[in-house]
Structure formats: structure tokens, C-alpha cells
A and B are shown apart, each in its own frame.
Chain A
Amino acid sequence: MLDILFIVLGKIVITVSKLFNLGSGSTWPGHIALSYNKNFIRNLLSKNKNLKIILIAGTNGKTTTGKLIRTILEKNNRKVLQNEEGANLLNGIASSFIKYADISGKIRCNYAIFEIDENTFPLILENINPEIIILLNLFRDQLDRYGEVNIVSNKWQSALKKIKPNVSLILNSDDPKIAYLGNKIKNKVEYFGVKGTEQSIDHASDSTYCPKCGNKLSYKSITFSHLGDWTCTSCGLEKPKPDIESFDGYPLPGLYNRYNTHAAILTAKTLGVPTDKIAKALKDFKPAFGRQEIIKYKGKKIQIFLSKNPASFNQSLATINDLKAKNLLVILNDRIPDGRDVSWIWDIDFENNLKNFKSITVSGDRVYDMALRLKYAGKNSLMSNEILSDAIQDSIDHIPENETLYILPTYSAMLDLRKILTGKAIL
């Protein structure tokens, strides 16, 4: 009975927050409901046994993969609910249920897609029995908050021991630690990979050691960072054979988006969407907030590439170089969602990726740290401005009408940026 009260109350909070442009109220309602009833999610789900839940975890690509799956399902007439941008802890999940449930607690959707915070993943599994779990990758990210990559993968391994036998796993075959999670499990496991070509390992590389025996892994090919065709010469563990490793008609550029697309396709197939319908649906895909999103601002074209850790930053740089980018704005913040430690910028491979830019501007809370990083990478002619709106103005003033300004922001910087560009807050 009390649960209904929280649903009604929560819906009011959501409406009020939107009305006053306070963000979309994506975590409070769930937070309140859970603090009064820790079984809130379990109770609600027991009333919605037909709702199939898809969980997505991993350092990079959760939001895009979620949006890809959502697009495929919706274009094929399924009703889908998804947690809001960044609302990826238990309270965010509860809030999404509140938003979509009617006052009797019924959720009229076929599927729920939730992106899950790395650390919260085990706790979510205690509250939710999913249909599918997608594990994308594990890169070095926010060591002050998440700890080291090994710690996260160990937590995931023990959490997966408790899942029900009917849960399907969709795992990245090219990320040794992720692939190994499917090694001893009795559940149905499918793997996605990407055909690789490059031979060198990035500086940001993390799990080049065997997840089973700890020996150094050998790679036949590498797509980027530590992802590739790996094998352990000591214990014989090797990359599982991928169920998908290429696709005709990627909706977004960038090698990293091939992984996201393959994961989404495997998921849709598992849920019974035919291959031709998947391909057709992806043709209409629109990127998520800040993930290659294009915005027109004061007559200039701006494209945002969220870049939140060395692996995603390197991939953004590689992708915009492929797109022949000439103008760059980098925004570095060090708030809690960004990670308070900015050491990671020294793991970005700027040295080999800056030569094609005509203009580079830096901004954000840690503007001078970024300027210093670029100076040591050989770029002295920078514009730097602590005030983001001024930095955006400086950047667009310098570009001709037909050129694009590419912006690489950290997470909180992306939110600030979008607020300036669109006049609205997302969160």
C-alpha cells in the first residue's frame, strides 16, 4: 500500500523538477521509496512478471548500447522503458519504475533497459532478475571511485555466481577479463568481438595479463587498448569464438561503436528480432546525449564526443581524426562524476593525434592541467579559458561556416556544455 504512495509522490517530484527545469528528477523518487522500503523494486517487479529486463554494465558504451537496443525494439513495436542518463544506481532504477508504473504499480512496457554503474552491479542483481546481462568492457576509469579494474572484475565474478540459470549473458570476447566471466558459468553465453588490425598496445592498456593464471597475454591483433585477439601461452586460455564480429551498416563511426552495435544486435537476436529487421531499425538511429550528438549553435555545427577516461578519449581522438576534424575544444572537469583525480589525462595518446588540428581550445575546472598536458604533447598555441561559455564562443569565432567544432568533454562538462548549447538541463 505504502508503495503506491511512493509511486504517486515520485511522479509529482518528476513533474515538478521538469516544470522548473531542475533536471528530470531521475534519482530522488527512487531514493525516497527505497529508504522506506528496501524491497520496493522487488515488490513492484512481482506485479510485473512479464517485464523483461536487460542490464548493461561496462566502463564505456553503456548509454549508446542501451539506445541502440531501444531503437531496435521500438522500431519493432515493443514498448521499452530505460533509466535516465546517469541514473545508474539502485535509486535511479527505482525512479525509472516509478516514472513508468501506473498507480496500481503496473508497468505497461515489454522491456526495461538499464545501464548499471560498475560498483552497483552486484547490488542490482540482488534486486532484479534480468533476462539478459550485457557486459561491455572494463577500462581504467575513476580510480578514486571505482578502485582498480581487477577489483571490479572480481566483484562481478562473484555476483554472477548467484544469477538464475535462465539469464542469458552477452559478453565481449575481445576483453580478457569480460570474456573470462563466461568461462565457468552454466548460463547461455554469447560473445561479440570486432575484427582487429592494429598491432600496438595503447598506454592506457589495463588487462594484458591472463585473468586465469596471471601470465602476460599474447595478442594476434588489437582493435584498441587491451581489446583484441588474445591468448595465454602459459595456461592456454584464449579468446572465445565471437558469435558476431562484423556488420554491414554501422549507425555510428568509431571502432568502439562497432562493439556497442554488435552487443545490441546479439541482444535483439536473443529477444527474437529477425536480422533484417534489426538492420532496418538501425538505419534510423539517433545518438544519445553527448555521444557524437550534433548540435547547431549560433549558426555553427558542433559535435560532442563524451570522453571520460583514457580509452574513450583515445577512441574519440581517433574517430574525429577519421572525420578530418580541424577544430577542437577539450573540457576537463574533476567533479565526482568525472573522477576527482585528473592523472588519467597523461595516459591519453595526444602525442600522435594532434597534428591535424588548426585550432585547439581548452576549458573546464582543470583547464590548466589540460593545457599543460597538451604543452608536453607539443602543442603550444592553445586558447584556454576557464569559463566554458567564453571558451565555446572563442572556439566558434575561429571557425569558418562550413567547418565543425568537435568538443571532447568529461561527463559533468558534457552536462554543462549541453545546458549552454540547448538552454536546458538533462539531469
Chain B
Amino acid sequence: MKQNLKIGWLYPDLMSTYGDRGNIIVLKKRCEWRGIKTEILNLNEGFDEKLLNNFDILFMGGAQDAQQQIVTKDFTSAKISALKKKVEDGTPGLYVCGAYQFLGKYYKEPNGNKIKGLGILDLYTEYPGERAVRLIGNIALKTPDGNILVGFENHGGRTFIGKKLQPFGQVMKGFGNNGNQPAMQDGKTLQAGDKTEGVIYKNSIGTYLHGPILPKNPEIADWLIEKALERKYEKKIKLEKLDNSLSQKAKMAILSRITS
């Protein structure tokens, strides 16, 4: 029987800047090249939260402020519980930039105004005052399993993840979660300039990496696909190898530039 995966793209109209669509293209193609069928469903404003249960992979991208507000309004408490359940039950998910911040407890705007997040993960984000610079540039990081990833970050908010959470990676070059910004002195968070990037919880990844992340880091795309198949078919999966030479070249070009 042919394997198939259902991919849910949360708010493609509202939460899609910076070529986020590339992540969906990569997931789809890498499945297709291996004979795995994919079905991609766009989950737009007003979608029924019961749909969430059907998906094997979830993706959500970054948003502009006005759009983010519409999404915030759309997340009823029932919808929040449904998404939390997906994260907790190990459904692979990729949450980039605005979506990553949104999974946390709150986002504090430059003017001090606090916007409530979904509260699914123990992290928070603060934009430290009107005059703080945005953290912009190419970034390289190393994941706990030794992968080196590259991307482009562009965020004003500094994110601090809870002590029990595992960062997605350690920053080799770039800013990552919080650059050099001092943390809130509440004793519950990792220290300032902790050089962490993103978060990984069960099979969900939160990250600031645009680029988009998946084309130049196919190991992450494959990890998501593998976890999704294992969860769905309840067996160990070893994905067929694909030719990654071009993505490797593109990655090396950036790495050699930013680490030289």
C-alpha cells in the first residue's frame, strides 16, 4: 500500500511572509520523489478545529502584525486545545518566526503592550523597547544531533525558552533566540545571550530560520517526514536517500561566507 501524508498549512494567507511557501514545496516534493503521496490542506481563518486531528504534519509561518491579530482572534480556546493536543501527541510540526513566538505565553511589543500567545510551550518573547534593533542576517546553528543548519533571521522579538525545554540548536553565527539581550530576572529562564536558537519539543520545531529553512536543510524536512510516517504507520521508517548535492552546495556557500 502506498504511504500517504496529510499536511496542514495553518493560515497560508495570513501567516506567510518570507517565502514560507518554500517549506511546503520541499515537504511535498521530497515525499513525491520517494513515492509517498501527500495531501496539503490550507487551514484558513475560521477553519473547524476538528480538522486538525487529520494531519500528519503541521506547518505555520510568520505574519505581519495586522495579520497576526486576525489569527489571534481566530484561535478560540477550543482551537488552542486542539493544537496543543497535536503538539503533545507528537505530531511533527514546523513553526517559523511569528508562529514560533505565538506558541509561547506572550509577546511583549516595543511599547510594553503584552499580546497573549497560545501558551502551548513554556517560552515568551519580548521586544526590548522602541530603540532596540531587529536581529537580521544570515545564521548558522548546530543541532544536538550534529546537523549544521543555515537560514536567514529577521525578528525584533527576543525569545526566552523555559529551562525544561530543549533548544532547536546552538548558534554558531548570528543571533538566534535572544541575541545578547539580558533576560527577565525571574529566575525561570535561561540566561541572556544564551546562544540558543528555537525550540524542539516532542516532534514540534519552533525556529526563527527563514531562507526558507527546509530547502537548504533537507535533513530537517526528512526528519519531519520520517517522524510523521513512523507515527502514522506505527513502525520504524528508514527514508530512501535523495540526492542532496545542490542543497549542500547552497548551504556551504552561505557557511563559508559567514564563518570566514
Contacts and interface: CB of A to CB of B under 8 A. Distances in A.
Given A368-B250, A369-B216, A203 B21 contact: yes
B90 interface: no
A340 B18 contact: no
A216 interface: yes
A166 interface: no
18 contacts: A150-B65, A214-B66, A340-B137, A341-B154, A342-B211, A343-B18, A343-B152, A346-B215, A347-B19, A347-B21, A368-B250, A368-B253, A369-B253, A371-B246, A372-B246, A373-B215, A375-B246, A376-B29
A200 to B, nearest CB: 13
B22 A346 contact: yes
B53 interface: no
Contacts of B81: none
Contact of B17 (A143, A367, A371): A143
Interface of B: 13, 17-22, 25-26, 29, 45, 64-67, 69-70, 136-138, 152, 154, 210-212, 215-216, 246-247, 249-250, 253
Contacts of B25: 346, 376
- Among A140, A343, A375, max chain B CB count under 10 A is at A343
A346 B29 CA distance: 14
Given A143-B17, A342-B211, A345-B19, 7 more contacts: A214-B70, A340-B138, A343-B152, A346-B20, A346-B22, A346-B212, A368-B246
B136 A144 contact: yes
Contacts of A285: none
Interface string A313-353: 00000000000000000000000000011111111000000
Contact of A372 (B13, B65, B210, B247): B247
Contacts of B26: 376
A343 B13 contact: no
Given A148-B17, A346-B19, A372 B66 contact: no
A148 B64 contact: yes
Interface in A60-88: none
Given A149-B64, A203-B21, A343 B247 contact: no
Interface in A361-380: 366-369, 371-373, 375-376
A57 B17 CA distance: 22
Contacts of B66: 150, 209, 214
Contacts of B154: 143-144, 341
A372 to B, nearest CB: 5
Nearest to B215: A372
Contacts of A373: 22, 215
| A-B interface, 10 closest residue pairs, ranked by CB to CB distance from nearest | A346-B22, A346-B19, A343-B19, A368-B250, A148-B64, A343-B18, A368-B249, A341-B152, A343-B210, A369-B250
Contacts of A143: 17-18, 154
A208 B13 contact: yes
- Among A140, A143, A203, A366, max chain B CB count under 10 A is at A143
